[in-house]
Amino acid sequence: MSGANGETDHLGPADDGLRAGQPVAPYFDAVLAYGLRGSGRFHVPGHKGGLGADPALRHALGERAFALDVPQDIHGIDLGPSPTPFEQAEALAARAHGARRTFFLTNGATQGNHALTLALAPMGARVVAQRNSHTSIVDGLVLSGGVPTFVPPEVDDALGMAHGVTPDRLRAALEQGVGQGPGFRAAFVVSPTYYGLCADVAGLAEVAHAAGVPLVVDQSWGPHFGFHPDLPKSALQLGADAVLTSTHKIAGSLTQSAMLHVGHSGRIDPGQLARVLRLLRSTSPSSLLMASLDAARRQLAVHGEALLHETLAAVHRTRAKLATTPGVAVLGPELVGRPGIADWDPLRIVLDVRATGRSGYQVAEALRAAYDGNVELATAATVVLVVGVAESAVALERVAGDLDETVKRIALTGDDGLGPVVRPPAAPPAETVVPPREAFLGAAERVPVEEAVGRVSCESIAGYPPGIPALLPGERVSAEVLAYLRAIRDGGARLHGASDPELRTIHVLRAD
Ligand X SMILES: Cc1ncc(COP(=O)(O)O)c(C=O)c1O
Is the CB of 177 or the CB of 436 nearer to ligand X? 436
Q: CB of 494: closest distance to ligand X in angstroms?
A: 14
Q: CB of 383: closest distance to ligand X in angstroms?
A: 17
Q: CB of 136: closest distance to ligand X in angstroms?
A: 6
Q: CB of 110: closest distance to ligand X in angstroms?
A: 3
Query: By the 8 A CB rule, do 402 and 370 touch?
Result: yes
Alpha carbon distance 129, 181 (integer Å) = 18
Is the CB of 22 or the CB of 106 nearer to ligand X? 106
Alpha carbon distance 215, 261 (integer Å) = 12
Alpha carbon distance 36, 48 (integer Å) = 12
Rounded to the nearest 10 degrees, what angle do helices 287-298 and 85-97 cross at? Answer: 40
Parallel, antiparallel, or unpaired: how do β-strands 184-190 and 126-130 relate?
parallel
Q: Taking CB under 6 A as the criterion, which residues in 193-212 touch ligand X?
A: 194
Q: CB of 161: closest distance to ligand X in angstroms?
A: 14
Handedness of CA 392, 403, 405, 492 (dihedral sign): positive
Three-state DSSP at 383 gives strand
220 binds ligand X (CB under 6 A): yes
Is the CB of 136 or the CB of 287 nearer to ligand X? 136
Is the CB of 137 or the CB of 307 nearer to ligand X? 137
Q: CB of 108: closest distance to ligand X in angstroms?
A: 2
375 binds ligand X (CB under 6 A): no
218 binds ligand X (CB under 6 A): yes
Q: CB of 255: closest distance to ligand X in angstroms?
A: 8
Is the CB of 276 or the CB of 322 nearer to ligand X? 276
Torsion angle, alpha carbons of 103, 107, 110, 114, to 10: -70
The Cα-based distances of 352 to 375, 405, 468 in angstroms read 14, 16, 19
Is the CB of 317 or the CB of 496 nearer to ligand X? 496
Amino acid at 411: A
Three-state DSSP at 440 gives helix
Q: Taking CB under 6 A as the criterion, which residues in 335-364 touch ligand X?
A: none
Q: Taking CB under 6 A as the criterion, which residues in 171-190 touch ligand X?
A: 190
Is the CB of 258 or the CB of 277 nearer to ligand X? 258
In what helix (H) or strand (E) does residue 489 lie, and over which residues does it extend?
helix 479-490
Does residue 181 come out as left (phi exceeding 0), alpha (psi in the -120 to 50 range) or beta? left
Burial class (CB in 10 A: 0-12, 13-18, 19+), 85: buried
Q: CB of 88: closest distance to ligand X in angstroms?
A: 24
Options 84, 130, 246, 457; binder of ligand X; rule CB under 6 A: 246
Q: Taking CB under 6 A as the criterion, which residues in 98-137 touch ligand X?
A: 108-110, 134, 136
Q: CB of 256: closest distance to ligand X in angstroms?
A: 7
Is the CB of 34 or the CB of 194 nearer to ligand X? 194
- With CB atoms as reference, the residue minimizing the distance to ligand X is 108
The verdict on whether omega for the bond into residue 465 sits within 30 degrees of 0, i.e. cis, is yes
Query: By the 8 A CB rule, do 277 and 120 touch?
Result: no
Q: CB of 15: closest distance to ligand X in angstroms?
A: 27
Q: CB of 105: closest distance to ligand X in angstroms?
A: 8
Alpha carbon distance 264, 239 (integer Å) = 9
Is the CB of 136 or the CB of 478 nearer to ligand X? 136
Options 258, 314, 351, 430; binder of ligand X; rule CB under 6 A: 258
User: Contact letters (x/-) for ligand X, 49-88, by CB under 6 A?
Assistant: ----------------------------------------
Is the CB of 257 or the CB of 318 nearer to ligand X? 257
Name residues whose C-beta falls within 8 Å of residue 150's C-beta, 6 or more positions apart in sequence: 128, 129, 130, 131, 173, 432
Q: CB of 279: closest distance to ligand X in angstroms?
A: 17
Is the CB of 218 or the CB of 352 nearer to ligand X? 218
Number of shown-chain residues binding ligand X (CB under 6 A): 11
Distance of CA 106 to the CA centre of its chain: 14
Alpha carbon distance 297, 460 (integer Å) = 34
Query: By the 8 A CB rule, do 360 and 380 touch?
Result: yes
The verdict on whether omega for the bond into residue 83 sits within 30 degrees of 0, i.e. cis, is yes
User: Contact letters (x/-) for ligand X, 134-153, by CB under 6 A?
Assistant: x-x-----------------
Is the CB of 164 or the CB of 327 nearer to ligand X? 164
Query: By the 8 A CB rule, do 237 and 226 touch?
Result: yes
Q: Give the footprint of ligand X on this chain (CB under 6 A).
A: 108-110, 134, 136, 190, 194, 218, 220, 246, 258
